[in-house]
Amino acid sequence: MQDYRKYSSALRLAAVILGVALPTTAAGVFAANARQEQTGKQHLTPLQLESEKQRLRLSSAETEDRREALTRLGSMHHPEASRVALSALGDPSPIVRATAAASVLSLPAEESAAALLPLLADKDEFVRQQVAYAFGQTRSRAAVAALIDRLADKKDSVRGSAAVALGQIADAAAVPSLAAVLNPQSGLMPAKKNKKSKREQNPFVLRAAAHSLGQIGDRAGLPALIVVLQDEKAGDDVRREAAIALGAIGDSSAIPALRGALTAPDPYLSQAAHEAIRKISRLQNSRGT
């Protein structure tokens, strides 16, 4: 005991000489550690502090806590916050995975695309849908092939979101597949042996395909759009979208079909055709043709 006291006194004397204050109790040790931790936090930026707070929430057992953490990380619109959200792409809850898809979009496009790509084949419909929409936001061509595959998804919502995303990415490689959604007999897609192509029935998917062809602006989409425009059995809203897309592509070969739609019973279709003709004429005049 006497030796311990001598050793303790010597240690404290050395601490005084070195200017170091040693805690005398266990409570003092904990207080010192807390001060050190607090000092470390003081060196973090507000962004880092908030990101760390949400990172801790991602380990919560409550699904809603994790989802809200991802929503907050996404609203920060910063790569560091999106990088924290990456781990949630593998969350067991579909709603959390779907929310994470939108929360990683502040990363560089190719980085977020690489992380999202496996989820286009997720077993949950809502996850596939939200991931497709997220790809549209990235504008990354990395997912074009996978999005084209989703045009044949069993779920309407996924097919529609894939069509929307392909238009936002605007890669001409998607034109044959989008045209085939509107008209399976367009001849742009190779026929599959012993299998007839199914005609798309969902109006939202059809409108999205037509709109996306207009966004891409490739002449290869003209035949399918013209077929839809002239098909009186097609819904008026789908035909309107086809007319608008033809105007966006701006090729004069669409004008005869658009003129035919000027007398359509639907006044909105007639107006869309009229506006498309005017747009094409302006484009042709600006090109000097």
Q: What is the CATH number of the domain that holds 277?
A: 1.25.10.10
Query: How many domains, the chain?
Result: 1
Asked if 255 contacts 277 with a C-beta cutoff of 8 angstroms, the reply is yes
Is residue 232 in a domain?
yes
| C-alpha of 32 from chain center | 46
Residue 214: how many other CB atoms lie within 10 Å: 22
Contact between 213 and 239 (Cβ < 8 Å): no
Q: 176 lies in a domain?
A: no
Report the C-alpha gap between 138 and 108 in whole angstroms. Answer: 8
Q: Look-up: residue for tokens 């010192």?
A: 32
Asked if residue 282 belongs to a domain, the reply is yes
The dihedral sign for the CA sequence 71, 73, 76, 79: negative
Domain assignment of residue 251, yes or no: yes
Domain assignment of residue 278, yes or no: yes
What is the spatial distance between Cα 193 and Cα 38, in angstroms, rounded to a whole number?
A: 68
User: Does the global pTM surpass 0.85?
Assistant: no
> Hey, how many other C-beta atoms are within 10 angstroms of the C-beta on 45?
9
Task: Give the domain extent around 251.
Answer: 203-289
Whole-number Å distance between alpha carbons of 132 and 161: 6
* pLDDT by position in tens, the chain (length 289): 555 455 455 545 444 444 444 444 544 544 445 455 454 455 779 999 999 999 999 999 999 999 999 999 999 999 999 999 999 999 999 999 999 999 999 999 999 999 999 999 999 999 999 999 999 999 999 999 999 999 999 999 999 999 999 999 999 999 999 999 999 986 565 555 444 557 899 999 999 999 999 999 999 999 999 999 999 999 999 999 999 999 999 999 999 999 999 999 999 999 999 999 999 999 888 776 5
User: Does 145 reside within a domain?
Assistant: no
The answer to whether the beta carbons of residues 128 and 99 sit under 8 Å apart is no
Answer whether residue 95 is part of any domain: no
